[in-house]
C-alpha cells in the first residue's frame, strides 16, 4: 500500500497522526481486509483499536454485511453464551422465547470481540468451534448450526501471560492470532500528540462557540512529555476540559496554567497502609469503613500480644529481675489509646492478618510479683507460645482462603476484579489460588 492510500483511509476513519508504527498497523489492516483471516488487535486501552476493526470490515468483501462490536468484559458470565450463540425457549430461567445470538444474526458479516481476554473459559471453547468449523449450538439445544462470520478480536492484556496462568485457552490464542496488529500507545507516537490535541481543541471550540485554544512552546513540550496512560481517550478529555475552563484567556496557555490540568503522578502506596478489601475507603481516616476499623483493632491487639509474649519469655529467663522488668514495661499494660502503631509489610503477610490466640492466663495491671512468686513460673511457657502461633497460622490461612473464594464469587471468577476488591495485585491473587488449591469453576 502506498502513502496516498493510507492517508485516504485515515481521512475516512478520522485517524490523525503520521507515526511509523501507526502507519504500519494501518497498512497491515488494509492488506488483511481482503482475506477472511482472523485478526487479533492488541494495544493499550484507549489507543483506538476499534477503528482498525472497522477498517478491516469496510475494505473486505463483507462490507455490505452486518458489523457488530461486542465488549466481552461488559457481558455477565452467565449470559454471554446466550448473547453470542442464542438460546432456546425454557433453556434457563427467564428464557420465555427462543433467541438468536450474534453469530447467527451476523451471518455473512463481521464480529468485533473487544476485551477478548475477559471471555470465560467455557465461552472460549464455543468460540474455538466457530473459528475451526463455523459451527455453534444454541444454549439449551442439541442442534448444530452453521454460520459464516469473520472474527476480529482485540485485547489490552498479554494473552500469552493469561495462557500461562490458565486463564485463556492456548489453542484459541493461536487461532485468533493468525494476523496480529499492534496499535502503538499515544506516548510512542511523538508529535502525533500535538496534532491530536490541536484537532480536539478545534472541534470543541466549534461545538461550544469559543476561541480555539493555543499553547506556548514550553507548554507544547510539556504536552509531548506527558505519558498519557489513558491514551487518546485521556488526551481528548484533557483537551475538552482545558478548552472550556480557559476559554476566556486571550493569550496562549503557559506551562504554569497547563500543568494544573495534567494529572499528578500517583504517589507510591505507604507500607503502613491498612488493607482495603472491598470498595474504596474515601479520604482520610475519618472515612474508614467498619471492616477497616476492625483491621486496625486487630493490628493493635496483635502488637500488644506479641510484646506481652516477649516480655513473659524475658521474665521466665530472668525471674530474679521480675519486678524490675514489670516496672520498665508498665506502659504495656496500661491503656494504649495513644498508640501510633501502624502495620508493616510483615504485619500484612497472609499469616499475620488476624490476632493470635489469647494466652492461658491474662495478666492484670494490678498484680504484683515477689521474686519467688510462682505466678511468674505458671504464666506462659515457650511451648504455649509456639502452639498459639501455630493455631493462629492455621486460622489465618482458613480465613484468607474464605475471603479469596468470596471475592472470586462476587466477581464471577474474574481475577482482575477480585484482586482489586481484595486490595492485592493480580499476581499475588494467582499465587494464593494455587497455594490454597481454590477451584475457580
**pLDDT tens string 348-377:** 444 444 444 444 444 444 444 444 444 444
Q: How many beta carbons lie within 10 A of that of residue 409, not counting itself?
A: 11
- Based on the fold, state whether residues 297 and 404 are members of the same structural domain: yes
Tell me, yes or no, whether 225 and 250 share the same domain: yes
Domain total of the chain: 3
Q: Are 374 and 317 in contact (CB under 8 A)?
A: no
Among the candidates 151, 184, 217, a domain finishes at 184
Which residue range is the domain that position 215 belongs to?
187-261
Same domain, 25 and 76: yes
Taking the CA atoms of 373, 374, 379 and 383 in sequence, report the sign of the dihedral they define. positive
State how far the Cα of 14 lies from the Cα of 224, in Å rounded to an integer.
21
Q: Is 313 in the same domain as 253?
A: no
In a domain, 350, yes or no: yes
pLDDT along the chain (441 residues), means of 10: 87 93 96 95 94 95 95 92 94 88 96 96 96 95 95 95 95 95 96 95 92 92 94 94 87 91 62 43 45 68 76 62 61 47 46 46 44 44 52 68 86 85 84 83 62
Q: What is the CATH number of the domain that holds 66?
A: 3.40.50.300
User: So what's the pLDDT on residue 337?
Assistant: 40
| Residue 328, pLDDT score | 66
DSSP 3-state assignment of 39? strand
Distance CA 28, CA 56 (A): 9
173 with 247, same domain: the answer is no
Q: What is the pLDDT of residue 300?
A: 75
Task: Kindly give, in sequence order, each residue whose CB lies less than 8 Å from that of residue 312, ignoring residues fewer than 6 positions away.
Answer: 359, 379, 380, 385
Q: What confidence score (pLDDT) does residue 314 get?
A: 66
Residue 120 lies inside a defined structural domain of this protein: yes
Which of 135, 155, 184 is at the close of a domain? 184
Are 174 and 204 in the same domain? no
Amino acid at each position: 500500500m502506498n502513502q496516498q492510500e493510507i492517508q485516504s483511509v485515515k481521512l475516512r476513519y478520522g485517524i490523525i497522526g503520521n507515526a511509523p508504527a501507526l502507519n504500519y498497523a494501518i497498512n497491515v489492516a488494509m492488506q488483511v481486509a481482503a482475506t477472511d483471516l482472523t485478526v487479533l488487535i492488541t494495544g493499550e486501552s484507549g489507543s483506538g483499536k476499534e477503528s482498525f476493526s472497522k477498517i478491516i470490515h469496510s475494505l473486505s468483501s463483507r462490507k455490505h454485511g452486518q458489523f457488530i462490536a461486542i465488549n466481552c468484559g461488559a457481558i455477565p458470565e452467565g449470559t454471554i453464551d446466550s448473547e453470542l450463540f442464542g438460546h432456546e425457549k425454557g433453556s434457563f430461567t427467564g428464557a420465555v422465547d427462543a433467541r438468536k445470538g450474534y453469530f447467527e444474526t451476523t451471518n455473512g458479516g463481521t464480529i468485533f470481540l473487544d476485551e477478548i481476554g475477559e471471555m470465560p473459559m467455557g465461552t472460549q471453547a464455543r468460540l474455538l468451534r466457530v473459528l475451526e468449523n463455523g459451527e455453534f449450538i444454541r444454549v439449551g439445544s442439541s442442534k448444530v448450526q452453521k454460520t459464516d462470520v469473520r472474527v476480529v478480536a482485540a485485547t489490552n492484556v498479554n494473552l500469552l501471560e493469561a495462557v500461562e496462568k490458565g486463564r485463556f485457552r492456548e489453542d484459541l490464542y493461536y487461532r485468533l492470532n493468525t494476523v496480529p496488529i499492534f496499535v502503538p500507545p499515544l506516548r510512542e507516537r511523538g508529535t502525533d500528540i500535538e496534532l491530536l490535541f490541536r484537532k480536539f481543541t478545534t472541534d470543541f471550540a466549534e461545538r461550544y462557540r469559543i476561541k480555539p485554544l493555543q499553547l506556548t512552546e514550553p507548554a507544547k513540550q510539556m504536552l509531548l512529555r506527558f505519558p498519557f496512560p489513558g491514551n487518546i481517550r485521556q488526551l481528548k478529555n484533557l483537551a475538552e476540559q482545558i478548552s472550556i475552563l480557559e476559554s476566556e484567556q486571550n493569550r496562549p496557555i503557559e506551562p504554569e496554567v497547563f500543568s494544573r490540568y495534567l494529572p499528578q503522578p500517583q504517589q507510591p502506596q505507604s507500607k503502613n497502609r491498612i488493607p482495603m478489601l472491598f470498595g474504596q475507603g474515601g479520604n482520610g481516616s475519618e472515612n474508614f469503613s467498619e471492616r477497616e476499623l476492625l483491621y486496625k483493632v486487630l493490628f493493635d491487639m496483635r502488637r500488644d500480644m506479641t510484646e506481652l509474649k516477649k516480655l513473659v519469655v524475658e521474665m521466665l529467663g530472668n525471674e530474679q529481675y521480675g519486678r524490675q522488668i514489670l516496672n520498665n514495661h508498665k506502659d504495656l499494660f496500661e491503656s494504649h489509646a495513644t498508640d501510633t502503631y501502624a502495620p508493616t509489610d510483615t504485619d500484612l503477610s497472609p499469616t499475620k492478618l488476624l490476632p493470635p490466640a489469647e494466652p492461658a492466663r491474662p495478666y492484670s495491671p494490678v498484680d504484683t510479683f515477689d521474686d519467688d512468686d510462682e505466678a511468674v513460673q505458671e504464666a506462659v511457657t515457650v511451648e504455649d507460645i509456639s502452639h498459639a502461633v501455630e493455631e493462629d497460622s492455621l486460622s489465618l490461612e482458613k480465613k484468607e482462603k474464605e475471603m479469596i473464594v468470596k471475592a472470586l464469587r462476587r466477581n464471577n471468577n474474574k481475577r482482575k476484579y477480585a484482586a482489586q476488591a481484595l486490595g492485592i495485585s493480580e499476581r499475588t491473587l494467582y499465587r494464593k489460588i494455587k497455594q490454597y488449591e481454590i477451584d475457580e469453576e
